[in-house]
Amino acid sequence: MNREQSRTAGTLDEMPRLVKSERISVMIVISKNDRKIRIGYIPNDQLRNENGSILTRVGTRCTTCNENKGFTLLVERHTFLPSQNDNYFLQCDNCVERIGLEVSEVTKIERIAKLNEKLKLKKISKEKYDQKIEKLLRK
């Protein structure tokens, strides 16, 4: 009886230490949570409208290789609970060079990229896509 009691007491004593180290490892995992999320692909010709380049700073082609057919819009989400930080990029489909984007630039092309992704995943008919993309590109 006595021996069992002391064993129980010993286990209880070690418990807080175990819980503590578990918490620490969870925190490390969370702080490393950097996710790269694909928003959608944008061909070069959708980066310009009748007034010229939609993103004047970026242009309509990769300035590093000048041989790309388009870019993929990506977001890197760094999570440090309770906050998160999003960094947006255009990634060249040829040389994989990345261009960091300002939020105001992302706003101009995000809907185009999302619509292209919908079509690619067949979540929208080609007919509907054509109607919507025309409106987006005319802006």
In the complex, minimum distance from the CB of residue 72 to Zn ion, in angstroms, rounded to a whole number? 12
In the complex, minimum distance from the CB of residue 115 to Zn ion, in angstroms, rounded to a whole number? 23
Decide whether 22 or 45 has the Cβ nearer to Zn ion. Answer: 45
* Cα–Cα nearest to 74, from 46, 34, 126: 34
The answer to whether residue 30 forms part of the interface with Zn ion (CB under 5 A) is no
* Separation CA 46–CA 15 (nearest Å): 60
The answer to whether residue 44 forms part of the interface with Zn ion (CB under 5 A) is no
DSSP assignment of 97-110: -EEEE-HHHHHHHH
Q: Taking CB under 5 A as the criterion, which residues in 94-113 touch Zn ion?
A: 94-95, 97
Peptide bond into 43 cis (omega under 30): no
In the complex, minimum distance from the CB of residue 94 to Zn ion, in angstroms, rounded to a whole number? 4
Decide whether 44 or 79 has the Cβ nearer to Zn ion. Answer: 44
Q: Taking CB under 5 A as the criterion, which residues in 50-69 touch Zn ion?
A: 62, 64-65, 68
| φ/ψ (deg, to 5) at 24 | -60, -45
Residues 135, 55, 74: CA angle, nearest 5 degrees: 85
Q: Which residues bind Zn ion (CB under 5 A)?
A: 62, 64-65, 68, 92, 94-95, 97
